[in-house]
């Protein structure tokens, strides 16, 4: 898949009921050598808490998990993860969904597709 197809898949995953973290990880499942169910399990715990966490973004966490799964090493992944956060914050604030999804409602999914699309875009840029 090219970057556009991956971006569209992430958005479809989200619309099909995956949380933002799962939606991003699932795009890279085959590349990571895991199946979709495993991808969904990896992202489930993070997504379940997203509705009540005020400082985290599921899509951002998913992107950072993909980096870790691809690279298997500590320091380089940590540096890239910080870079991903900085790029993410410049695109949609990294915590913008706090206001959209409502921290008091506990809803896991926000209505905005930008987060998962931005996560895929940033991962693809890191590949180039």
Q: For residue range 9-53, list pLDDT tens digits in order.
A: 999 999 898 888 899 999 999 999 999 999 888 888 665 555 444
pLDDT for res 65: 83
For residues 19 and 59, is the Cβ–Cβ distance under 8 A? no
In angstroms, what CA-CA distances link 88 with 51, 60, 91, 105? 19, 7, 5, 25
pLDDT at 8: 97
Confidence of residue 74 (pLDDT cuts 50, 70, 90): low
In 10 A of CB 74, how many CB atoms? Answer: 9
CB distance 50 to 62 below 8 Å: no
Mean pLDDT of 97-110: 48
Pick from 31-40, 51-60, 67-76, 97-106 the range whose average pLDDT is largest: 31-40
C-alpha distances in angstroms, 123 versus 2, 40, 66?
12, 18, 8
pTM: 0.76
- The CA dihedral of 103, 108, 109, 112, to the nearest 10 degrees, is 30
| Average pLDDT score over the chain | 75
Between 29 and 118, name the one with better pLDDT: 29
Check pLDDT > 80 for residue 89. no
Q: How far apart are CA 80 and CA 126, in angstroms?
A: 8
Q: How far apart are the first and last CA of the chain?
A: 14
Answer yes or no: is pLDDT of 112 > 90: no
């Amino acid at each position: 898949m090219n970057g556009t197809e991956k971006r569209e898949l992430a958005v479809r995953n989200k619309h099909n009921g995956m949380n933002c973290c799962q939606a991003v990880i699932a795009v890279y499942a085959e590349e990571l050598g895991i199946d979709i169910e495993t991808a969904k399990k990896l992202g489930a715990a993070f997504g379940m808490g997203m509705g009540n966490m005020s400082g985290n973004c599921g899509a951002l966490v998913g992107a950072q998990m993909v980096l870790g799964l691809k690279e298997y090493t500590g320091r380089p992944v940590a540096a890239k993860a910080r870079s991903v956060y900085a790029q993410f914050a410049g695109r949609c604030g990294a915590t913008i969904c706090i206001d959209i999804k409502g921290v008091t409602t506990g809803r896991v999914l926000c209505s905005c597709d930008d987060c998962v699309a931005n996560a895929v875009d940033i991962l693809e840029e890191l590949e180039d």
